Chain A
Amino acid sequence: MALDTSIPVLVVDDYKTMIRIIRNLLKQLGFEDVDEAADGTEALGKMKERRYGLVISDWNMEPMTGYELLKQVRSDSSLSKTPFIMVTAESKTENVIAAKKAGVNNYIVKPFNAPTLKSKIEAVFGD
């Protein structure tokens, strides 16, 4: 089954450069409908206004972290099914376990490359 690249994607990161990198990588993969947010609070606001097919979020942000965003999304019945990939420099075992426990669909450690991002998106959508 081919990857549905028409889905809207929300990229959450407090570093504009990282958003730009992910946006370009997604563009290379065929995703054109990409929105961005600078932290969990802004992302949650956007998610309540629009239904996203995928959220790609950093962990370490102010004031709301990606981990808090993940927990909020999973506890909200209208958002809980949204596929969520964590892309972060946080690579301690406790982070990975906590994210998995909170319901993350996949976890990418920075720095990463395009094939890694592609394979994780594919894994989330079962391709």
Chain B
Amino acid sequence: MSDMSSEHVAKIIDFLRNGRKAEDVSLEDVMRLAELMAESFQSFFKTMDLAIYTELGEMAREIANMKEELALLRLSDMRDEHIPTAGRELDAIVEATEEATNTIMSAAEEIMAADADDNDAYQALVGEKVIDIFQACSFQDITGQRISKVVSTLNALDKRITTLVEKLKIMRITDAAGEETASEKRARELMLHGPQFKGEGVSQDDIDAFF
């Protein structure tokens, strides 16, 4: 170990001592540590074996390349900008559909409650409420555009995660079985599947036959 410089050893010790707790360790930290180790051991093995020295040099370059490639993925953009924006778009969709539904239902309720005996007044009211309903339906255009933006974000996220998985060769690691969360347990026990896609759930006719 005599050829491993004290400067390198100090760097590793500093890194490990520098308040790093398990939950604080990032991928960046691990890569930095690997880089430090590779650099440090290069000088140590240089005197012993040229092949190992070359291999360590390759490893250091590989890690540096990976860091550059990860930076190109701009994952922080997804976290800080694209995903929050998609969340706001979805909130706006919920709000717009709720508003439109309320407008349409109020118009329908007013028509239902109107006095049909007064023909002229009834016709005027129905005409006015039908226009309200048409106007409220314009939400579909705006929400359609918002949904397209969310879909674009999901596609970009999918692409970046796929690239990340490929770069990190995560597929080679066997997926650890995750623990079931409380909400997952509740959903399983209480059969909370949510709406099914067309043709996937049982039809009303099947249910009627069953009953």
Residues of B that sit less than 8 Å from A by CB? 98, 101-102, 105, 108-109, 112, 190-196, 201-204, 207, 210-211
Contact = CB atoms under 8 A, between A and B. Distances in A.
Contacts, number: 64
B195 A110 contact: yes
Interface in A76-101: 89-98, 100
Given A100-B211, A110-B195, 12 more contacts: A24-B112, A28-B112, A67-B191, A89-B195, A90-B191, A91-B203, A92-B196, A94-B191, A95-B193, A96-B207, A107-B207, A112-B204
A109 B207 contact: yes
B204 A90 contact: no
A34 B101 CA distance: 21
User: Is the contact region of chain A dominated by helix, strand, or loop, or is it mixed?
Assistant: helix
Interface in A1-52: 17, 20-21, 24, 27-28
Contacts of B105: 17, 20-21, 24
A123 B201 CA distance: 23
Contact of B204 (A89, A98, A116): A116
A91 B191 contact: no
A108 B196 CA distance: 14
A106 interface: yes
A92 B191 contact: yes
A72 interface: no
A17 B104 CA distance: 11
Contacts of A90: 191-194
Contacts of B193: 90, 92, 95
